[in-house]
């Protein structure tokens, strides 16, 4: 996280509290670390206590005050309790990052109704739960909402109907909250990351072998995967005074991957599935 300190003062978020749902790992932990590097107190929640404790060590290593809480974003009361704990330990939330999500590859004709519902419950309903539970604190701080979306929200991807529906819903929610809560001084934006290296999402959705990785990278205008730090930097920008007049916007941070569509991704996923079960699809 040293990069961000080259460009922004390390006390930019001093005295401010940032809460990240799903902040114990991956992109969301990267976002939490970027805020920690510029002085924020950081709260993270998720379902796994050990994961949160290990993230706490990393965040404290950056000098942050840290609050953790085990909470499933599908359970409103658990989230509300986590946000109260955060307030008691760090002060009212200035920036809420809704990052908790679940995903897997499943062609729609094989996806169960509960599989679809589960992803929508975690990603979309969980994001509303978090935003609603944080509202009073955000009103007090005239703070920010940042939702973690994905390219699936606006480009159809093979075997991603559940994720696409959930993330499109998130971006719509983001704009409605920008419209409604602007009058309280609350800004609302989303970030749509492209393929981010070393993450659980890429492990689940990304290519399996070197040749396929090369093919996917070749289809990205900037020719590479992104990093968690690049998503963190975007989140800090959006929550900072540099973006004081930015609300209701989806910021796509994908090296241009979505520009040519999802054809290469679709070909790679279909080939991998055909190799698993010859004759299909
Ligand atoms: C088809 C599946 C499935 C799979 C689960 N289900 N995994 N269906 N293919 N691989 C179905 C189950 O069969 C079940 O339906 C329903 O989903 C719920 O499953 P549970 O295991 O009970 O759910 P739960 O314990 O709540 O776990 C949620 C989860 C899990 C999403 C299924 O994978 C999880 O906790 N994921 C969190 C981490 C994660 O996914 N990280 C990556 C985020 S990446 P039935 O009908 O059998 O009851 C991302 C975008 C990446 O979001 C973008 C691009 C690179
Ligand atoms: P990840 O490490 O698996 O992050 C997901 C986090 O959410 C985990 O820490 C998980 O922790 C938590 N979580 C899952 N279900 C939860 C629930 N019901 N309640 C509370 N927390 C829950 O995956 P990632 O790849 O870094 O993805 C992070 C975010 O970026 C997601 O929103 C994803 O959609 C988005 N994204 C990722 C990519 C990519 O390239 N990886 C691309 C585009 C968008 P627990 O399991 O311990 O709860």
Tell whether ligand 1 has an atom less than 6 A from the beta carbon of residue 193: no
Q: Which CATH code for domain 11-276?
A: 3.40.50.720
Take residue 222 and report the two structure tokens written for it.
């900037």
110 catalytic? Reply is no
Q: Using one digit for the tens of pLDDT, what is the confidence trace for 19-40?
A: 999 999 999 999 999 999 999 9
Q: Beta strands 41-46 and 66-70: pairing type? A: parallel
pLDDT at 2: 62
Residue 199 C-alpha from the chain's centroid: 12
Cα–Cα distance, 251 to 173 (Å, whole number): 15
- Residue 275's pLDDT band, with cuts at 50, 70 and 90, is confident
pLDDT at 276: 84
Tell whether ligand 2 has an atom less than 6 A from the beta carbon of residue 168: no
- Residue 279's pLDDT band, with cuts at 50, 70 and 90, is low
Comparing CA positions, the residue from 13, 62, 60, 61 lying closest to residue 39 is 13
Region 156-184: what's the mean pLDDT?
98
Mutate to test the pocket of ligand 1, among 115, 117, 160, 166 (most ligand atoms within 8 A of CB): 115
pLDDT at 214 over 70: yes
Tell whether ligand 1 has an atom less than 6 A from the beta carbon of residue 118: yes
pLDDT at 72: 98
Comparing CA positions, the residue from 143, 109, 133 lying closest to residue 247 is 143
pLDDT at 281 over 70: no
Tell whether ligand 2 has an atom less than 6 A from the beta carbon of residue 201: yes
Q: Using one digit for the tens of pLDDT, what is the confidence trace for 52-95?
A: 999 999 999 999 999 999 999 999 999 999 999 999 999 999 99
> What percent of the chain stands above pLDDT 70?
98
pLDDT at 277: 76
pLDDT at 200 over 80: yes
- Residue 5's pLDDT band, with cuts at 50, 70 and 90, is confident
pLDDT at 278: 63
pTM over 0.95: yes
Cα–Cα distance, 254 to 219 (Å, whole number): 11
Residue 192 Cα to ligand 2 midpoint, Å, equals: 13
Q: Other CB atoms closer than 10 Å to residue 109's CB: what's the count?
A: 7
Q: In the chain, what are the domain boundaries?
A: 11-276
> What percent of the chain stands above pLDDT 90?
95
Mean pLDDT of all residues in the chain? 96
Cα–Cα distance, 27 to 174 (Å, whole number): 19
């Amino acid at each position: 996280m040293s990069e961000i300190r080259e460009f922004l003062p390390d006390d930019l978020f001093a005295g401010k509290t940032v809460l990240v749902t799903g902040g114990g790992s991956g992109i969301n932990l990267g976002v939490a670390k970027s805020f920690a590097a510029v002085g924020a107190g950081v709260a993270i929640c998720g379902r796994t206590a050990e994961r949160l404790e290990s993230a706490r060590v990393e965040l404290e290593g950056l000098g942050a005050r840290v609050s953790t809480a085990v909470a499933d974003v599908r359970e409103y009361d658990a989230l509300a309790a986590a946000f109260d704990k955060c307030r008691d330990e760090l002060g009212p939330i200035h920036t809420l990052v809704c990052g908790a999500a679940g995903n897997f590859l499943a062609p729609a004709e094989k996806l169960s109704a509960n599989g679809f519902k589960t992803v929508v419950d975690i990603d979309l309903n969980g994001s509303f739960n978090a935003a609603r539970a944080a509202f009073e604190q955000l009103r007090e701080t005239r703070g920010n909402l940042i939702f973690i979306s994905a390219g699936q929200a606006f480009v159809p991807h093979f075997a991603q109907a559940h994720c696409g529906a959930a993330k499109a819903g998130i971006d719509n929610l983001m704009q409605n909250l920008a419209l409604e809560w602007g009058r309280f001084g609350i800004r609302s934006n989303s970030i749509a990351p492209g393929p981010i290296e070393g993450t659980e999402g890429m492990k689940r959705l990304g290519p399996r072998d070197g040749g396929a990785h090369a093919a996917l990278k070749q289809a990205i205008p900037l020719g590479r995967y992104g990093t968690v730090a690049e998503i963190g930097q975007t989140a800090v920008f959006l929550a900072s005074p540099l973006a004081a007049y930015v609300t209701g916007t989806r910021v796509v941070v994908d090296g241009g991957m979505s520009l040519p569509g999802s054809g290469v991704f679709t070909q790679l996923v279909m080939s991998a599935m055909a190799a698993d079960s010859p004759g299909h699809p």
